[in-house]
Structure 1
Amino acid sequence: MKGFPGGFGGGNMNNLLKQAQKLQKDMEEAKKNLEEKEFEVTSGGGVISVKMNGKKEILELNLKPEVVDPEDIEMLQDLIISCINEAYKKVDEESNKEMSKLTGGFNIPGF
């Protein structure tokens, strides 16, 4: 008996291995491309902006002077946190979208 039932032997196994290697290469390339992208998010009607790369590193944090109220530091803190969290969400959404293109929606841990 050659190979396994269902066609997982011989040439079919080689084809499967080649497809897996191509998928891995494509996923690594997509991950690299994502890491190089920049994402910008604003909060509070544009008074705060955060720029983040695909590695989830904050590149810029900008505050317009009118958002700085010494009497209401808590509001400023909340706006900054909200803006940063939205930037993380945007990176995650883009990452999931790109990986779904490659995997057909199949979730592969670590990517």
Structure 2
Amino acid sequence: MNNMNQMMKQVKKMQEQMMKAQEQLGTQEIEGTAGGGVVTVTVNGHKKVLGVTIKPEAVDPDDVEMLQDLVLSAVNDALTKAEEIGAKEMGKYTGGMNIPGLF
């Protein structure tokens, strides 16, 4: 019985640590860029887009598709980085196990 209580305390501690890590991910800002930095997208660790910056030289009225591609690439870059950071942070507590729906 004592082992069960000890195990439950460890599980509760791990849950608390994971919740704290998830909260901290929400405060991290991650940047993704495209076109050598002419388009920058900032996301948080929860993969929410916080901002988009487009330098004037990226805007060509005759080539809107290029700007769309740059924005898309920057968003994907930022989200990929956020995913990697989240997996690394949560992996500290899950031992590298991929738990669906965790983050």
* Same fold (TM > 0.5): yes
Instruction: Tell me how far 1:106 sits from its aligned partner.
Output: 2.1
Counterpart for residue 109 of structure 1: 100
Instruction: Tell me how far 1:108 sits from its aligned partner.
Output: 2.6
In the TM superposition, structure 1's runs of 4+ consecutive aligned residues that sit over 4 Å from their partners are none
Classify the secondary structure of the residue corresponding to 2:43.
Answer: strand
2:14 to 15, 23, 47: 23
The total of aligned residue pairs comes to: 102
1:52 to 43, 55, 59: 43
CA contact (8 A) 2:39 2:74 kept: yes
Instruction: Tell me how far 1:78 sits from its aligned partner.
Output: 0.7
Q: Are 2:72 and 1:81 aligned?
A: yes
1:99 to 87, 90, 93: 90
Normalising by structure 2, we get a TM-score of: 0.93
- Point out which structure has higher relative CO (alpha carbons under 8 A, 6+ apart): 2
Identical aligned pairs, as a percentage? 50
Counterpart for residue 66 of structure 1: 57
Which AA in structure 2 matches 1:104? G
Q: Which runs of 5+ in 1 are unaligned?
A: 1-9
Normalising by structure 1, we get a TM-score of: 0.86
Classify the secondary structure of the residue corresponding to 1:82.
Answer: helix
In our comparison, the structure showing a higher alpha carbon Rg is: 1
Q: Which runs of 5+ in 2 are unaligned?
A: none
1:109 and 1:75 mapped to 2: Cα distance? Answer: 36
2:82 and 2:76 mapped to 1: Cα distance? Answer: 10
1:97 and 1:51 mapped to 2: Cα distance? Answer: 19
